[in-house]
Amino acid sequence: MKALTLILILIAIIVYSFSVTELSVVEYRSTPKSIKQSEEKVSNAVLVYPKYSYEWIMMVEGVKKFEGFYSRPYICPAGVKTIGYGHTGKEVNRSYISEYEATELLQQELEVCRDIVLSSVKVPLTEAQLAALTSFTFNLGRGSLYKLVSGKGRLNSGNYESIENILPLYRKADGKILRGLVKRRAWELDLWKANDNLIAQN
């Protein structure tokens, strides 16, 4: 008798659960307001774009490759004390830096170089062109960027082709042509000429 009662109770619970589920579905389907609210939420959704463009990410990886990672201070070919990924600032006084820290430091420095490019160049740049000049500035500094883009017949005069002619000339250190710099300028030039129509935003 107890077993029969238990079975009946279980059946009643199952039937009740099914009824509630079915009722909920019917109520949802028959409520236009709920559907309308869902549609409004979708239509009001905000698209979130990545912080960095594809060209920027490729540039960072390229810079990391050319600079190489050094966990301890060393003297670069230009005779400057360096650590991490080409860092020459106050962190060179450390005896050790992790690759993660070096990458974060590199990102920060490249963003500073990006701002320098945007403030120095007076003509519109694509994301690829901005990335190329950011790499150039990180490697050679604000002064070299100014010489590259300023003056008659140069970039700031609207002559975009001048970059292709002048940028490869920045290949020397201590008066000597370095293979690494020749390759780096060629890579930056490929990036500059990338088929990219997206205009960089300040």
For residues 80 and 85, give the distance between their C-alpha atoms in angstroms, rounded to a whole number.
13
Positions annotated as catalytic residues are: 67
Tokens linked to 32: 């236009």
| Cα–Cα separations (whole angstroms), residue 26 to 18, 20, 38 | 12, 10, 17
Sign of the torsion angle spanned by Cα atoms 11, 16, 22, 25:
negative
CB 142 within 8 A of CB 120: yes
Phi then psi dihedrals of residue 139, to 5 deg: -80, -40
Helix (H, G, I), strand (E, B), or coil: what is residue 140? helix
Beta strands of 64-147 (E only): which ranges? 70-75, 81-84
Helix (H, G, I), strand (E, B), or coil: what is residue 150? coil
